[in-house]
Amino acid sequence: MKTINEHLYWAKSYLDECGIADANLSSKILLSFVTKIPSIDFIRNPETEVSSEMSDQFRSLIEKRGEDYPIAYLTGEKEFSSLPFYVNENVLIPRPETETLIDWFGEKIGNKNFAVCDVGTGSGTIAIALKKNFPKLHMTAVDTSQEALEVAKKNANRLEVEIEFIQSNLLDQVRTSFEVIVANLPYIRMRDMEGLPKTVKFEPKLALESGADGLDHYRRLLPTAFHSLRSKGSVFLEFGLGQKEALISLLSSNKFSSIEVRPDLAGIDRIIYGVKE
């Protein structure tokens, strides 16, 4: 049997040859995942031997990582808002910038007895994080993909929150009204898809691309969102680089006012807020 050190040396060398930028980190994460040994212990006990079965599993994961396969899909988990979410190839991997929406919702709305709908919930990260942080909310989460909803339901059960899930193309099948609608819909422009990081090719295209300007989904959502919101209801929407002015115009034309924009931690405009007139 080979030791931890020997496994890490081989894995880093292999991933370096494959051009993986975080070869050392990937090796440690995946070895820790397979052996259930915290990576900090790799330094303390580098000569610990790894069983043949674990070695085979580790080699298989490293070979996949060498193809740019995302670590989150290899381990089946990604942290979001300090919560562990199960993910697979049917859902987009949660991004830290989306946590800006959770924080801003807390400032604007907080823990109120409000009905809130998360449109395009994917793995359920936004809906579940909101419900965990603000338990008085009555959360509904919708997605057009049944496979994505299965992932979201699994996460809701794991994290012990009560959420109503509905399969729907945006709000088409939703018959109730809400105080707040939140959404992180696809917003990548068609021309920008090829320039995305290589790992993105493993994520569902359905969750990424939204027409020539990246706003097709929001263009379809906002008219129905307006009618689904109660008096003075509001929206929180995530968007991409260079889309702020177009989205402000889109909100205004759909009778939303008091529009504000919040940047993410990198200083990039990321979340837009508007109130139903």
pLDDT tens string 27-75: 999 999 999 999 998 988 899 999 999 999 999 999 999 999 999 999 9
Beta bridge partners of 23: none
Helix/strand number for the chain, H first, E second: 10, 9
Q: Which residues contact 70 (CB under 8 A, 6 or more apart)?
A: 93, 199, 202, 203
Beta bridge partners of 115: 138
User: What is the mean predicted confidence (pLDDT) over 158-165?
Assistant: 98
CATH code 3.40.50.150 for 80-276: yes
Beta bridge partners of 271: 238, 262
What are the pLDDT digits (tens) for 115-143? 999 999 999 999 999 999 999 999 999 99
Lookup: tokens for 65: 């990582």
Please report the pLDDT score of residue 44 as a whole number: 87
Query: What's the pLDDT band for 213 if we cut at 50, 70, 90?
Result: very high
Give the Cα separation of 116 and 235 in Å (integer).
10
Of 127, 121, 276, which is closest to residue 207 (Cα–Cα)?
121
Threshold 0.85, pTM exceeds: yes
Tokens 């959770």, residue located: 102
Lookup: tokens for 214: 């990246």
| 194, pLDDT greater than 90 | no
- The half-sphere exposure of 7 on its side-chain side, counting CA atoms within 13 A, is 32
Burial readout 234-264 (b: 16 or more C-beta within 10 A, e: otherwise): bbbbbbbeebbeebbebbeebebeeeeebeb
Tokens 């910038």, residue located: 97
Dihedrals phi, psi of 80, to nearest 5 degrees: -145, 130
